[in-house]
Chain A
């Protein structure tokens, strides 16, 4: 039946959408500036955008549980500056990183509590963090960066042919995130909460506890992104995280997760981040400023959403048509016949 074939084609299109877009972008930039693509381009792009990719993992969980989080960018800046501060005053990198971890986790836990227990809108809570964390980050050392060095960073930036350890860290985190989503209670309950807090509650899912976990996990992701950012810049900068939360949200949405929650994929969010990374890198290779990136990022977001909605509607219509055809010719529903 042509109905089924078209349906299958459309579904395939839906699923491979991201890969197709990435491929199309790569080809586009390659044609526009032939020298751009070489053996080092891909690893470079991935490594350069490591903080975003890591944040996208955390943001996936947030959005799947139907909570939007506006804090990661400012928190990254703050965590970096705090690390710098501690390193400067104590000389110990590990102490600095530990403090940063404590900071991001505790902010996450508190936010999660406010949202989960007190039922305050996630937007308000994370917006507040966005504001005060950015303020504090700048207050620490103004616009000046605090240089931070360490053998760890040298290690992260080391690698073969552009394939650095940073990339491995990112890949491991993404895979771990996907695993968490699909095979642990954390992922299950996150999805349940996102789809309907009420149902989840009725079935005995500890909603408050797992909301806290979601925000705490984002805290962990922020910390990891901070480490990677410091490693990349060789310093703590108060502007390091600016705009990253919006990029992360865009990456996750491009990757197919919607704010309505309940479903999503960490892998696809990672791919979404890669799409943005390719876009950013490609545009700058063409000599275009950051503004062009913003423009195309915004357009891409809307375009992807519109296309995905249209595809979904098409699928629904085709499925309905197929069910009608199916009814006329089908055998009784065997699966339901009891012995």
Chain B
């Protein structure tokens, strides 16, 4: 193992300018706690000039906390951040940029109605007598794009007309035009196709020549091995590996990521887990849900799987592999869907959420803030939102009396563990975990054949998480089929009866949690699965 930087000597002695290859970014002894839990524990992280350095680790291992510290969103409890050997204090994103740190987030900050040149120079336009100097903007844009090796993109094109890959590159160019020494890329390939990824990588290689230190945060180990020079692995807030990529194998990387959990198998070791009691076949052996050759837009190419009544099936994959789109398609909320979906043997057309709900499908979104909760309404109306009595004569259809409605709501909120004390408070004021429970309660109140949920425990504390798991298990035991989209391996293995792994829009493996290990699931998510085993019966 590479000796850790802090092992060499104390900071006073090892002056970075004396090192062979002065580090662009040096984070030494970084620790950060949130409440009682340590998110980062004495982490050293260094990126040299002209290198692409991967930062990897599972969700919750500390990657995003570390990057938030670099970005200025968090301040470390202890430790030092240095850029080009100079200690810096970054308290907000603006300071970060001034200090020489540029961050490219997954959500692009480009304005689609303005051109590339206008976007890159936005906020810093040079003016001559009040008139924007277009040539200065042009030069800035062209210079920035040249850093990425792009010289044939017309800077007068509006962002709205560019492909996603092109937009991503413009976003990087925009950040680069501020002249940062360190560039952090947060999951840059999550939404890109293989083709686009290749283009992005050639741009990154070009960028490397300019001497900037690039941090490549990613879950995609195949790509990490392809493009990066070195790699730092975090696990549970600590650095567990710092490797040069040349000579590094995927297996070694997975081992480092998962630690001793890599070979743990869940179901065999856990007697408490009830085991797959749920899976029931319908009459004649038809599955509750059968999806055949589903394709959604550009992300999902060909996915087939089935769900039996009472079965919990996990749809796992790295971000952008297509599992979320499949889930949305099952709820009528995806454009350009092709393929067949059959419920209890009958082919259905799911053209809208209403159509899906009419067929008995329920949906829990991953984005509860924008799509899930009604922030200014209390718990009870939030819970009953999906169970309102419908009819053409809606104006005349009476709601249940307040007492009845409250009783109905309490039946499910008690079940999921929402304390009655907060019943009357607006959702906006409740914790993420409680909010999520309310959303779950909403669909429990409705009663459905199939429940589709995406990241049902994202941003939810441990206690609430356990409650929600219990609820889902109960639901399955009562006969509802459940599809869970998740990127959390542990969740998938603990909760599901079967895991369908998606990679690049295809099914890369179907895994039985009783036989799988975290490692095998992880590898499957990276595309190294046993191939689409998912046949119908």
Binding site for B on A (CB under 8 A): 183-185, 188, 191-192, 195-196, 199-200, 202-205, 262-263, 333-339
Contact = CB atoms under 8 A, between A and B. Distances in A.
A200 B123 CA distance: 8
B199 to A, nearest CB: 5
Contacts of A192: 111, 114, 122
Nearest to B204: A338
Contacts of A183: 131-132, 134
B122 A337 contact: no
A199 B148 CA distance: 24
B109 A203 contact: yes
Nearest to B110: A199
Nearest to B131: A183
A195 B149 contact: no
Contacts of A188: 114, 118, 122, 125, 132
A326 to B, nearest CB: 12
A262 B118 CA distance: 13
B202 A337 contact: yes
Contacts of B114: 188, 191-192, 195
A184 B130 contact: yes
A201 to B, nearest CB: 10
Nearest to B123: A204
Q: Report which residue of B110, B169, B199 has the largest number of chain A beta carbons within 10 angstroms of its beta carbon.
A: B199
Nearest to A186: B130
Nearest to A323: B163
Given A262-B111, A262-B112, A336-B150, 11 more contacts: A184-B127, A191-B113, A192-B111, A195-B111, A202-B93, A203-B123, A333-B199, A335-B166, A336-B153, A338-B203, A339-B151
A175 to B, nearest CB: 14
A336 B122 contact: no
Nearest to B120: A203
Contacts of A204: 94, 122-124
A185 B93 CA distance: 23
Contacts of A337: 152, 199, 202
**Max chain A Cβ within 10 angstroms of own Cβ: one of B113, B130, B203:** B113
B295 to A, nearest CB: 13
Contacts of A334: 152
Contacts of A336: 150, 152-153, 165-166, 169, 199, 203
Given A195-B111, A338-B203, A338-B206, A185 B149 contact: no
A312 to B, nearest CB: 13
A208 to B, nearest CB: 14
A199 B150 contact: no
B144 to A, nearest CB: 14
**The 9 nearest A-B residue pairs measured at CB:** A338-B149, A204-B123, A262-B113, A338-B202, A336-B199, A335-B152, A335-B153, A203-B123, A263-B113
Interface of B: 93-94, 109-114, 118, 122-125, 127, 130-132, 134, 148-154, 163, 165-166, 169, 199, 202-203, 205-206
Nearest to A199: B109
A172 to B, nearest CB: 17
25 contacts: A185-B132, A188-B132, A192-B111, A196-B111, A199-B109, A200-B122, A202-B93, A202-B109, A203-B122, A203-B123, A204-B94, A204-B122, A204-B124, A205-B122, A262-B111, A262-B113, A333-B163, A334-B152, A335-B153, A336-B152, A336-B199, A337-B199, A338-B203, A338-B205, A339-B151
Which of B111, B134, B199, B202 has most chain A Cβ within 10 Å?
B111
Contacts of B163: 333
Nearest to B202: A338
A338 B132 CA distance: 30
A199 B153 contact: no
A196 B24 CA distance: 34
Contacts of A338: 148-150, 199, 202-203, 205-206
A263 B159 CA distance: 13
A251 to B, nearest CB: 21
Contacts of A199: 109-111
B198 to A, nearest CB: 9
A195 B199 contact: no
A184 B166 contact: no
Nearest to A320: B336
B166 A339 contact: no
A183 B169 CA distance: 25
A192 B115 CA distance: 11
Contacts of A196: 111
Contacts of B166: 335-336
A337 B165 CA distance: 12
Contacts of A203: 109, 122-123
Contacts of B165: 336
A185 B166 CA distance: 25
B318 to A, nearest CB: 23
Contacts of B94: 204
A44 to B, nearest CB: 35
A135 B123 CA distance: 41
A246 B322 CA distance: 48
A338 B202 CA distance: 6
Nearest to A205: B123
Contacts of B131: 183-184
A157 to B, nearest CB: 32
